[in-house]
Structure 1
Amino acid sequence: MIGRSEEYEKMFRLEGQLWWYRSLHERVEKALQNRFGQRRDITILDAGCGTGGLLDFLRRQGYTNLRGLDGSTDAVTFCRERNLSVTFVNLNELTSFEPDGQYDAIICNDVFCYFTANELPPLVSALARRLRTNGILVTNNNAFKLFRGEHDVAVGIIRRFVLADFKPVCADNGLHIHLATYWSFVLSPLILLVRQWQRLQLALGWHKPEEAQSDVYLPHPLVNETLYRLVRAEQTLIRRTPFGSSLFMVMSR
């Protein structure tokens, strides 16, 4: 998404409100609580932190040792508007950046989709080496090619994943997957319908790729709150689901 200033601006405005971001942020905090309980002094790195919505959320939950990295000057600028500790780093060069840095929790949400098959293993390796004993790597990723649509074009997503894609690279880096679930299962028919319609419009030339718009927009407050509550209920009632537009994972060394 680097270079798409308008998308970063939308993300900055809507991360605290949009149902999807709210749901993801709560999933991350739940993973932290499951591993570390009520501790708020753990060291947390958000690699590919975007405009800092997750870091801001965690700060409001009382976490005190937060750091972010991102390869977009737009993202870093927005993070600094939030008074967050964020460093400009191209994640392709993470291997050489502060190689001795260690963290209790590393978060890398919706970042792997911008890395090719050759670029991803070194990134995962660099993240794994920075985990402390008992540390966790939390990552959310775009899932299933069926869900590719105008959103992918607008933000430059180059690939989508299934769980099997991660098993070899995790094994190569001594990472054990504790939790892997697709979400949102309950909304997947609706999301799939929208994305297929977007693909048809692009294929027929009704929408031009260079004018593609992301799905980052705020619907009517009632709709937004309903979608949030549906996804929250799914997360509460069903620990793992077999299908959805995103894949959420928690790993440790």
Structure 2
Amino acid sequence: MEKGEYVTMAAVERQHWWYVGMRTLSAVWLDQVFADRHDLQILDAGCGTGGDALFLRRYGTVIGLDYAAEAAAFVGERLPGRFARGSVLDLPFAEHSFDLVTSYDVLYHTGVPDEAPALREVRRVLRPEGHLLLRLPAYEWLRSRHDRQVHTRRRYVASEVRQMLAKAGFVVERLSYVLSLLFPLPATTRWLERFQSDHGEASAMELPGTMLNTILYLPMAFEANWLKMGGTFPYGLSILCLARVKPALPKTMLPRMVK
């Protein structure tokens, strides 16, 4: 991610409709699994400037991890003593340390050349039956100026996310595209970018005016209610997935070698 994006993120992520909306969507599924739980050990892997880690404190104790030095100053201030600098490819934690790992828009990054080692590390630090909440950007054809700013390696479709989690030893409990009701707006904007010259390095995540910010959030609140009722969306700007560690087979159920 470009250094300037960290400054922008820290300034707007508590109020910006996109960040607030994504936290609202995450809370729906987390509340369904962890209702009335406040004792979880949680890792926010790729925590950025720490806004989501602050939100996750409602469920327990949170450690934020990020590789970027630019993130350390922000998270250190927001979560004193609860930040670790490191890579999702080599998590600096013991096995079975966490009940929940969240990873919001991290595995798509150029700094993660392959998702499989990162997911193996997440599985290693999760406790048996522990959960992973994963968010990733959707559709390669939606690449934009913002992807260049945040160093996007790839974008995904839902079937790819489901397959890579299964290979890594997870059971997918819920999976849906999100940011779906507003999808025509970013889709059109990104298509038009192809015919426009690059207008410099202005961040795509600048905070809009109060009224527009509220208007843009409302469709995401509606999406959250739909997810709460068990619904899903067939397309969207992002993919949200809740998975748990696949339980190991009892030794008595393992196939015997034929002599």
Check whether TM > 0.5: yes
Give the match for residue 232 of structure 1.
221
Report the secondary structure of 1:176's partner residue. Answer: strand
Consecutive aligned runs of 4 or more in structure 1 exceeding 4 Å deviation = 115-118
Q: Is the CA contact (8 Å cut-off) linking 2:136 and 2:156 kept in structure 1?
A: yes
Q: Distance between the aligned counterparts of 1:50 and 1:167, measured in 2? A: 25
Shift of 1:102: 1.8
Q: Larger helix proportion, structure 1 or 2?
A: 1
Q: Distance between the aligned counterparts of 1:187 and 1:52, measured in 2? A: 26
Q: Is the CA contact (8 Å cut-off) linking 2:88 and 2:121 kept in structure 1?
A: no
Report the AA paired with residue 39 of structure 1.
Answer: R
Q: Is the CA contact (8 Å cut-off) linking 1:183 and 1:245 kept in structure 2?
A: yes
Q: Which of the residues 26, 29, 39 maps onto 1:28? A: 26
The farther-off stretch of 111-120 and 157-166 is 111-120
Does residue 12 of structure 2 align to residue 8 of structure 1?
no
Q: Distance between the aligned counterparts of 2:143 and 2:136, measured in 1? A: 13
Q: Which of the residues 211, 215, 219 maps onto 2:204? A: 215
Q: Distance between the aligned counterparts of 1:70 and 1:50, measured in 2? A: 6
Give the match for residue 256 of structure 2.
none
Give the match for residue 39 of structure 2.
41
Report the AA paired with residue 85 of structure 2.
Answer: F
Report the secondary structure of 1:7's partner residue. Answer: helix
Q: Distance between the aligned counterparts of 2:73 and 2:111, measured in 1? A: 26
RMSD (Å) for aligned C-alpha atoms: 1.8
Q: Is the CA contact (8 Å cut-off) linking 2:166 and 2:172 kept in structure 1?
A: no
Give the match for residue 84 of structure 2.
87
User: Any stretches of 5+ residues in structure 2 without a counterpart?
Assistant: 246-259
Summarize the Cα distance change of 1:32–1:235 in structure 2 as closer, same or farther, 3 Å threshold: closer
Q: Percent identity?
A: 29
Give the match for residue 100 of structure 1.
95
Q: Is the CA contact (8 Å cut-off) linking 1:151 and 1:212 kept in structure 2?
A: no
Deviation string, structure 1 residues 99-134 (Cα, Å, up to 9, x no partner): 425211100000011158852101011101222123
Summarize the Cα distance change of 1:157–1:39 in structure 2 as closer, same or farther, 3 Å threshold: same
Give the match for residue 250 of structure 2.
none
TM-score by length of 2: 0.87
TM-score by length of 1: 0.89
Does residue 172 of structure 2 align to residue 153 of structure 1?
no
User: Any stretches of 5+ residues in structure 1 without a counterpart?
Assistant: none
Deviation string, structure 1 residues 21-67 (Cα, Å, up to 9, x no partner): 001112222222111211111111100000000111233xx344111
